[in-house]
Structure 1
Amino acid sequence: MSMLGSPEAKVPVRALVFPPLVDAAFAFLAEGCEATDLRNRLGEFDAAFMPAAEREAVEVVVSSGIVGFTAAQMDLLPNLKLIASFSVGFENIDLEAAAARGIAVTNAPATNGETVADHTIMLMMAAARGLPEVMAAARAGHWNEARKRYRPTLNGSRVGMLGLGAIGAAIATRASAFNATVSYTTRTEKPGVPYRHVPDLMALAAESDFLVAAIPGGPATRHLIDATVLDALGPNGVLVNVGRGSVVDSQALATALKEGRIHAAGVDVLEEEPDIPAALLDAPNLVVTPHMAGRSPIGLRRQCERALDNIGRLRRGEPFVCRVG
């Protein structure tokens, strides 16, 4: 048995799977529906890629926010009824085109969010405490020298959350357990949350020791964290980004780190991923993980189950859960 186990039943629905899922995830989906493995092949998908009769049999596409799905690609599948985003994000799926064609779009929030939140706390601590630097120093025989620098910690700090969705709220809960004071910026204040709403991102950055970005990508949030926001965060501040790489201006971040205008940064996403910009490769006080914050067996199974649940709902004619379009 794989690390994910097996779904409860198989639904006779044809689905094309495009995101670069690990083998265990694709195998789980294939046990739960009639899945075709097209991982990493969306760029090849055109009218000549698959016979028309096969395309007509497809009712579901599994995609993601990063992989996306365009209007032209939808037109290749005349009986497409559902695009299930395997991720929380859906920014590159053309919602307007889907709506015009009567195609539902769903996503997968509250599946791997707890794993992302755990990972975020790790990034906050590792960046603030200079984990890569002190590990390298200790291994190089500079044990005593590495101990001389006193580094900030999370306990009692001020944490500013850019975004307070399911993942942001989970991060805030964990930070509060460290006796941190949490504030947040969102477009509108959220009722019933125990944190102070700060309407302006600049003001939030200026009053935070940690600025944590947990928001979707897209044109509206591109480079929302730029040089001016990093300057407001200041030389003792730590930036953490677990949302989308496009939210942070990579060049501005590299400059701020090299010039000591912020203390450190921990990022799980980059605008240029999978490449790391040259300017960031030699930036000090930077912790980078390869867009893996949400990756754990339990989170992966929940993502698979969310997609299969909505595929089952399609077959049974029931309302979809987590519908975004």
Structure 2
Amino acid sequence: MERTTSRSKIVCCRDLGPTAMALLTEHGNLEVVVWTEDRRCDRGWILENIPGATGLVVSTTEIVNRELVDTAGPNLRVVSTTSIGYEHIDLEVIAARKIQVGYTPDIPTEAVADSAIMLALMATRAAGQSYSLVKNNGWPTLSRSPFALCGPQLSTTPFSPTRTIGFLGFGRIAHAVLTRLAAFGITHCIYTPRPGAAVQTARDAQLKDKHNLQEIASVDLSTLAGRSDVLFILTPGGSATHHLVNSAFLRQMKPTSVLVNNGRGSVVDSIALAQALSEGWIWGAGLDVVEEEGAPGGVTSAHPLVSEPRCVVLPHLGSVALETREEMAWLTARNVLAGVLGEELPVALDYSAIV
């Protein structure tokens, strides 16, 4: 339905920065309403400002549901999210109203892959424990025993020439992680695709040659757990992947194995992982996401994973790199602008196969 007023309204639940915001605010036929505070956008503010809006800019902390869409009214044409994921958007409601969804799926790939390698190194080399030791004045009393603070090495050595890297989910980010791991001398790669994803034999053969691997294979969850020296979780969230990594899975892992999660917190049962670390089922973990991060109060120092010495927890920083965030903001602005102007979105979510 066409708007009857001369100016279309865009509601931005995040300030996208000067370059991206200029793309919107300097357009003469747009009214741009922006949440300017440096904190999560208040739900009441959104509901107050959304009526009559043609475009909406959100991040993963803003829930786009029936209440919001109904309050917006019939003019809403596009929701643009500055994220890879879209679990915060009710796609059934959006599809019923024929509202377009813009998102930023490819841009964060390299930054998240960097973060995954960082977490793997931090977890294997006991970086959390070591840093806490220095901060708490424990360095002067550190034992100089040959194995003090030792953890499993990520790279291969003549003494230990084989490393098996596992991936739960084997998409763009996993491939970028594998590229980085080639420099560490990784020899074996196994993976379990995200639910519904097909095995791509030709692609795997190319990756094997490209990275000089001895093995690359799709395996079941039990084999993935039992063989992985380092397991990277890079699968989407949702009901199909909820708690795939549970107590039964973790009990099959090696006592020297390390788990890294840059995917979704809901894939890993936090209580089971805390028990696995505490009782030594696995060596350590590096987490950029935790299941409870979206719950009231979020993840605090009282969380069992935060207090576990061999677990490194970061506050969902995978794509938090300056260049990446600027590019994501720019694409988010371009997506919402295109939708408001009735043009094709640069990167639109095809939700027809999802809902």
Give the TM interval when normalised to the shorter protein. Answer: 0.7 to 0.9
Whole-angstrom CA distance in 1 between matches of 2:227 and 2:81: 36
Q: After superposition, where does 1:114-153 map in structure 2 within 5 Å? A: 114-137=110-133, 139-140=137-138, 141-145=140-144, 147-149=146-148, 150-153=150-153
Query: Greater CA deviation, 135-144 or 60-69?
Result: 135-144
Q: Does 1:31 align with 2:22?
A: yes
TM-score by length of 1: 0.86
The equivalent of 2:4 in structure 1 is none
Match of 1:257 among 261, 277, 295: 277
One-letter identity of the residue aligned with 1:317: E
The equivalent of 1:5 in structure 2 is none
Deviations 1:237-266 (A, max 9, x none): 101101111111111111111101110000
- 5+ residue gaps in structure 2? 1-6, 26-31, 157-162, 209-215
Whole-angstrom CA distance in 1 between matches of 2:326 and 2:145: 41
- Are 1:161 and 1:185, in contact at CA under 8 Å, matched by a contact in 2? yes
Q: Provide the secondary structure at the position in 2 that maps to 1:120.
A: helix
One-letter identity of the residue aligned with 1:275: V
Q: Provide the secondary structure at the position in 2 that maps to 1:235.
A: coil
- 5+ residue gaps in structure 1? 1-11
- Are 2:261 and 2:288, in contact at CA under 8 Å, matched by a contact in 1? yes
The equivalent of 2:100 in structure 1 is 104
Change in CA separation of 1:89 and 1:219 when aligned onto 2, cut-off 3 Å: same
> Aligned residues, how many?
305
Whole-angstrom CA distance in 1 between matches of 2:68 and 2:145: 54
Q: Does 1:85 align with 2:76?
A: no
Change in CA separation of 1:282 and 1:310 when aligned onto 2, cut-off 3 Å: closer
Whole-angstrom CA distance in 1 between matches of 2:9 and 2:19: 15
The equivalent of 2:326 in structure 1 is 301
Query: Greater CA deviation, 67-76 or 241-250?
Result: 67-76
Q: Does 1:169 align with 2:195?
A: no
Q: After superposition, where does 1:1-325 map in structure 2 within 5 Å? A: 14-18=9-13, 21=14, 25-34=16-25, 35-38=32-35, 40-44=40-44, 49-50=48-49, 55-56=51-52, 58-77=53-72, 78-137=74-133, 139-140=137-138, 141-145=140-144, 147-149=146-148, 150-156=150-156, 157-180=163-186, 181-186=188-193, 187=195, 188-190=198-200, 191-193=202-204, 194=207, 196-273=216-293, 274-276=298-300, 278-314=303-339, 315=341, 317-325=343-351
One-letter identity of the residue aligned with 1:30: M
Whole-angstrom CA distance in 1 between matches of 2:17 and 2:51: 20
Q: Tell me by how many angstroms 1:69 deviates.
A: 0.5
Whole-angstrom CA distance in 2 between matches of 1:162 and 1:206: 13
Q: Percent identity, please.
A: 31
Q: Tell me by how many angstroms 1:142 deviates.
A: 3.3
The equivalent of 1:8 in structure 2 is none
Structure with larger Rg:
2
- Are 2:164 and 2:230, in contact at CA under 8 Å, matched by a contact in 1? yes
Q: Tell me by how many angstroms 1:68 deviates.
A: 3.0
- Are 2:165 and 2:229, in contact at CA under 8 Å, matched by a contact in 1? yes
Q: Provide the secondary structure at the position in 2 that maps to 1:132.
A: helix
Whole-angstrom CA distance in 2 between matches of 1:231 and 1:284: 19
Deviations 1:37-62 (A, max 9, x none): 23633521576x24xxx721x21111
Whole-angstrom CA distance in 1 between matches of 2:166 and 2:310: 20
Q: Tell me by how many angstroms 1:171 deviates.
A: 1.2
Q: Tell me by how many angstroms 1:311 deviates.
A: 2.7
- Are 2:41 and 2:62, in contact at CA under 8 Å, matched by a contact in 1? no
- Are 2:79 and 2:336, in contact at CA under 8 Å, matched by a contact in 1? no
TM-score by length of 2: 0.79
Change in CA separation of 1:145 and 1:324 when aligned onto 2, cut-off 3 Å: farther
- Are 2:189 and 2:217, in contact at CA under 8 Å, matched by a contact in 1? no
Whole-angstrom CA distance in 2 between matches of 1:308 and 1:269: 26
- Are 1:161 and 1:172, in contact at CA under 8 Å, matched by a contact in 2? no
Query: Greater CA deviation, 33-42 or 262-271?
Result: 33-42
Q: Tell me by how many angstroms 1:92 deviates.
A: 2.0
Q: Tell me by how many angstroms 1:284 deviates.
A: 2.3
The equivalent of 1:6 in structure 2 is none
